[in-house]
């Protein structure tokens, strides 16, 4: 059940139909519409992807007397347990769908009580006829997106921004304040979007709208729980391991609840490997899918070996140079610019899996919970000797940049630009808070570099005012957990999850993530750091779990970040044509954001050095230009 939309405070002929039609890819199996009674100015709809209760799960779904209605995008994995609890309290169900649990759960527990009990992924709208108000809400980690627009007494919402753009009252204008964060992070952090006047409802929040006065309020109902490092007491390592094993296998089992077959994405990494291993405990018929690039960083041989060990029916999909021609269509599906060529791989992977299935599981979320990214280990090491960080910056300044590759788990040469980024990170480490250090280490452009590439007319708009500071109430938490928590506030939903949701939904494929089970996240933040990352090894407790399933060479594979190696496509005519079309002098001048000479210099640096940072910088500019052409120019 994978696409919702609606509007309030006004009427517009044909709008609800147009809002649904433009996101039909999210739910091609059917549609539902709701108009509030008594002439109230509220309408909502949904596009359905049939997963649970194929015959009876049509929406909108109502309570017994039809005074509460819901349109829902997502899956509530623990709906069986919620239903049993609600039936014991006297609620009567007319379907076997997970959606109906939300209607009765709202009646029984209120909006916050419902959200705190849900285990799954969700974006929904609940309309209360008696109170003449409605709630829209999102799940804890932002697996399902939800956009809204509120202006002049008119409110619109949708699973994709393009639904909102179907109204005659909303135009696709670029949000100029979002350019600098996009260049910094290669995404636009919520609640901003690249559209002026369209916002994202933040993760773990709900919005309350009253039709009586067209007012809204936004509330947070959950956040990652940090212990106080000064008073924290920990259990034994064995107790944490037993809890992890129980919760993880149960999370996978819940994610496999479906009335249609379920498969999985499988890479060389321990996260997806462990997920598929758990799935084979509950089913002997699992289809797995991996993506490759015919390059030296291809993971398909390792994934193939894991699939053979687990006995799955395995499928391999290969990205080809001509797949760069897909980027305009992919950007349309994304709604937002995400400056990463890996979008092509996600699109192709979903396209391949959707030929066989409607549901796949994946391993996202494990790196955020158990510290699996190399920058987490790097920041941890630097923090332990932070007084020496300026000296380390000087040392790096006089050593070959190739030595950097020994500090980062990355399959490409970090090059001179990577060296500059690390030196800047070390030099200024003690003058930044944790969030700013986190961003400084992962950004493609430093603040000075961004300022240098901007045009003279745009420079004044480029400030770092958008970048949030670390919250004071978090600063007593354990250092590693404070760093991990930052990813749940921005990185996870705006980078990792949005790429998967939009590309799977482009092919009517549902993507489920056991590592985002709230019980597992909360357990991870109760553990001491030495069970997650000790500076030498990552995801320590998770790999111990993998040791029970796999031989050492699979369980202990080093993490290889999943990325599309643009440097291997530079000489292909498709890539050359794409860059020439989007980043020529005429195109750059038309937008007005960047200095054409500086962009030309960047292209030359990419061609001559082939350094991956230059390649990624170029791709981020290409995607930004494509977004403007697709949505603003309506190309």
Active-site annotation, residues:
2
193 backbone φψ class: left, alpha, beta (φ>0; ψ -120 to 50): beta
What is the length of the chain? 635
**Contact call for residues 124 and 102 (beta carbons, < 8 A):** yes
- Residue by residue, DSSP assigns 230-290 as TT-----HHHHHHHHHHHHHHHHHHHT--SS-EEEE--SSHHHHHHHHHHHHH-S--EEEE
Could you tell me which residues come within 8 angstroms of residue 509 by beta carbon, excluding any fewer than 6 positions away?
350, 353, 354, 357, 358, 359, 360
Angle between helices 389-397 and 415-427 (to 10 degrees): 160
| Calpha distance 352→360 (Å, rounded) | 11
| Calpha distance 108→56 (Å, rounded) | 23
Compute how many other C-beta atoms are within 10 angstroms of the C-beta atom of residue 293.
21
Compute how many other C-beta atoms are within 10 angstroms of the C-beta atom of residue 602.
18
**Contact call for residues 111 and 72 (beta carbons, < 8 A):** no
| Calpha distance 60→603 (Å, rounded) | 51
Could you tell me which residues come within 8 angstroms of residue 512 by beta carbon, excluding any fewer than 6 positions away?
75, 77, 121, 255, 262, 359, 360, 361, 362
Distances in Å between the Cα of 543 and the Cα atoms of 369, 404, 481, 559 are 13, 26, 19, 11
Tokens encoding 140: 């804890």
**Contact call for residues 625 and 583 (beta carbons, < 8 A):** yes
| SS3 state at 628 | helix
DSSP-derived letter for residue 594 is B
Tokens encoding 545: 């779990």
| Calpha distance 359→247 (Å, rounded) | 21
Tell me how many helices (H) and strands (E) the chain has: 25, 17
What torsion do the CA atoms of 86, 91, 93, 98 make, to the nearest 10 degrees?
-30
Distances in Å between the Cα of 511 and the Cα atoms of 1, 43, 368, 625 are 12, 28, 18, 28
Rg of the chain in Å (alpha carbons): 24
- Look-up: residue for tokens 């494929």? 509
**Contact call for residues 279 and 357 (beta carbons, < 8 A):** no
Could you tell me which residues come within 8 angstroms of residue 612 by beta carbon, excluding any fewer than 6 positions away?
412, 413, 414, 415, 418, 565, 566, 567
Of residues 87, 95, 82, the one with CA closest to residue 122: 82
């Amino acid at each position: 059940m994978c696409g919702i939309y609606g509007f309030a405070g006004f009427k517009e002929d044909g709008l609800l139909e147009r809002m649904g039609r433009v996101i039909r890819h999210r739910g091609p199996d059917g549609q539902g519409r709701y108009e509030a009674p008594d002439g109230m100015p509220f309408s909502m709809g949904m596009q359905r992807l049939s997963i649970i209760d194929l015959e009876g799960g049509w929406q909108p779904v109502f309570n017994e007397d039809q005074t509460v209605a819901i349109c829902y995008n997502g899956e509530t994995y623990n709906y069986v347990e919620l239903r049993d609890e609600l039936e014991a309290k006297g609620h009567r169900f007319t379907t076997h769908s997970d959606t109906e649990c939300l209607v009765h759960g709202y009646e029984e527990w209120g909006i916050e009580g419902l959200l705190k009990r849900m285990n799954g992924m969700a974006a929904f709208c609940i309309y209360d006829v008696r109170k003449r108000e409605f709630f829209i809400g999102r799940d804890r980690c932002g697996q399902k997106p939800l956009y809204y627009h509120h202006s002049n007494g008119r409110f619109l919402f949708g699973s994709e921004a393009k639904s909102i753009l179907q109204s005659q009252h909303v135009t696709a204008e670029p949000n100029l304040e979002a350019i600098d964060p996009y260049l910094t992070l290669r995404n636009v952090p919520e609640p901003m979007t690249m559209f002026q006047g369209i916002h994202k409802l933040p993760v773990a929040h709900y919005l309350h709208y009253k039709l009586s006065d067209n007012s809204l309020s936004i509330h947070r109902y959950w956040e990652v729980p940090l212990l106080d490092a000064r008073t924290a007491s920990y259990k034994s390592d064995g107790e944490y391991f037993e809890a992890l094993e129980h919760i993880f296998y149960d999370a996978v089992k819940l994610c496999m609840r479906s009335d249609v077959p379920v498969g999985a994405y499988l890479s060389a990494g321990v996260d997806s490997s462990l997920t598929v291993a758990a799935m084979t405990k509950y089913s002997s018929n699992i289809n797995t899918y991996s993506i490759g690039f015919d390059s030296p960083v291809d993971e398909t041989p390792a994934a193939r070996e894991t699939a053979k060990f687990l006995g799955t029916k395995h499928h391999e999909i290969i990205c080809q140079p001509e797949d760069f021609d897909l980027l305009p269509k992919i950007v349309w599906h994304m709604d937002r610019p995400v400056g990463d060529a890996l979008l092509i791989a996600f699109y192709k992977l979903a396209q391949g899996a959707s030929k066989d299935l409607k549901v796949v599981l994946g391993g996202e979320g494990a790196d955020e919970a158990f510290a699996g990214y190399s920058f987490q280990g790097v920041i941890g090491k630097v923090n332990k000797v932070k007084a020496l960080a300026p000296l380390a910056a000087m040392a790096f300044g006089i050593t070959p940049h190739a030595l950097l590759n020994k500090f980062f788990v990355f399959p490409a040469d970090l090059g001179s630009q990577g060296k500059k980024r690390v030196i800047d990170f070390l030099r200024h480490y003690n003058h930044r808070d944790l969030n700013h250090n986190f961003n400084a280490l992962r950004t493609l452009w430093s603040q000075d570099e961004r300022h240098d590439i901007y045009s003279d007319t745009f420079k004044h708009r480029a400030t770092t005012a958008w970048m949030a500071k670390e919250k004071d109430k978090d600063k007593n938490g354990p250092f590693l957990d404070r760093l991990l928590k930052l990813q749940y506030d921005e990185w996870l939903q705006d980078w990792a999850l949005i790429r998967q949701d939009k590309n799977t939904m482009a092919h009517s494929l549902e993507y489920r993530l056991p590592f985002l089970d709230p019980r597992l996240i909360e357990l991870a933040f109760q553990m001491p750091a030495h069970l997650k990352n000790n500076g030498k090894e990552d995801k320590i407790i998770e790999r111990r779990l993998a040791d029970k399933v796999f031989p050492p060479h699979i369980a202990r594979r080093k993490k290889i970040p999943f990325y599309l190696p643009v440097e291997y496509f530079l000489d292909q005519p498709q890539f050359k044509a794409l860059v020439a079309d989007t980043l020529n002098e005429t195109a750059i001048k038309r937008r007005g954001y960047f200095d054409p000479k500086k962009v030309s210099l960047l292209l030359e640096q990419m061609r001559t050095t082939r350094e991956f940072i230059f390649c990624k910088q170029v791709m981020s500019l290409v995607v930004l230009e494509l977004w403007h052409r697709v949505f603003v120019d309506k190309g």
